[in-house]
Every structure is written in structure tokens, then in C-alpha cells.
Amino acid sequence: MDKNMRIILATQNSGKLKEFSSIAKLACASVNFEIKPIANDIGDIHETGDNYLDNALIKAETVYAFYHSPVLSDDSGLELIDFNNIPGVYSARFAGISANDGENRNKLCEFMTSNSVSSTPARYRCLLIYKPDVASYFKFEAIWDGVITTDLRGNSGFGYDPMFIPNGFRCTAAELDNEVKNKVSHRAKALFGLFKFLGA
């Protein structure tokens, strides 16, 4: 593996960029692994797929066509196991296309309350795509099991982290130390799979 590797991350989400960069430093201490976000002028990328793979590929192919440089993209979601895996691929827009994290969490709390549950088994899922050139791509998938609760706690992370209690922990993902989270999360597991594939 090249000791100086630059990859474009197909996101403008600052939380996701920070998380990916931190995991890369943790997993590849001997490699100068630079992860760059996409530029604002690339425009909105519409995730029109009905599954994680399709959405991750849409982002990877769009960004590769713009930069002609290796791209890393993911589509991640939260799945409530007893409720047909919702919100799933719609996790980032559960409360609407332009909804923010807080609005999505509120919508999920309302859904759980309407179904008379304060906690329920859940998992995070990450489908990661590494696209090194125009003709090929490689996928890596991982899950993070736990429970979703309507008792929100913690200020770290993003998305549904204040609601998600990982198996083996009493705290939410938003209360976890970042170094711990970046070893056990769904994105960490998927990225470790990529780094192993790359020989890091």
C-alpha cells in the first residue's frame, strides 16, 4: 500500500468526515492516509436507490466522474429490527428530504411513542464502496448491534447516536469516547475491512 494515499470521501457531512479521518489514523498509523471531502460545486447528489449498495454506488460514480481520483463512499442507516428495519436507507431523511439530525431523532421518538415502546433492538449498517478507477469498485459491509431508546443522552457523534446504546455498553454512542467508538462502530468495521484489503 502506498505510504501516502489520498482518497476523496463522497460527503459534505463534517461529522462523517471527522469520523472517517479519525478511524483512518487509528487503523493506518504507518500510512499518511488523507481523506478529503467533496467540493461544494459538485452539487447535490440525489440518493435515488432503494438499497444501501445502490445509493453508495450513485455517490461513488458521481464523485469519481467529477474528480477522476479514488473515491470512498458509504450509505449507512439505522434499522429497527422489530419494525421492518425502518428507517433504513431513509435514515438521513426520515423526517423529510432536508431534515437535520435533530428532526430525524424527534420523528423516530414520535414513531416509537406511537407504538408504545421506549426502547427496541436496533442496528447501524454501513455499506462502504471503494472506487479506485472508472471500471471497478469494491464493497465492504458491517453492522453495529444495539438498542434504540427514546431517552437521548450525549453530545458526541451525529445522526441517531444519542439514541443508540451499543451491545456491551450502558452509554449511548454519543457518550462513548471517540477512540472507543472508532474501533467498534459500523463504519469502523467496514473501514478496517477496506484497510485489510488494501494491505494496510
CATH of the domain at 31: 3.90.950.10
Tell me the pLDDT tens digit for each residue of 132-155: 999 999 999 999 999 999 999 999
The grid coordinates of residue 9 equal: 470521501
Instruction: Report the predicted TM-score, pTM, of the whole model to 2 decimal places.
Output: 0.90
Binding-site residues for Mg(2+), in ranges, read 75
Binding-site residues, in ranges, read 11-16, 75-76, 158-161, 181, 186-187
pLDDT at 44: 78
Question: What band does 95 get if pLDDT is binned at 50, 70 and 90?
Answer: very high
Count of domains for the chain: 1
Helices and strands, number each (H, E), in the chain? 5, 7
Where do the H-state alpha helices sit in the chain?
Answer: 14-27, 52-67, 101-114, 178-184, 186-198
Active site residue ranges? 75
Strands 119-131 and 138-149: antiparallel
Q: What's the distance, Cα to Cα, between the start and end of the chain in Å? A: 6
The residue segments making up the domain with residue 31 are 4-198
pLDDT at 77: 96
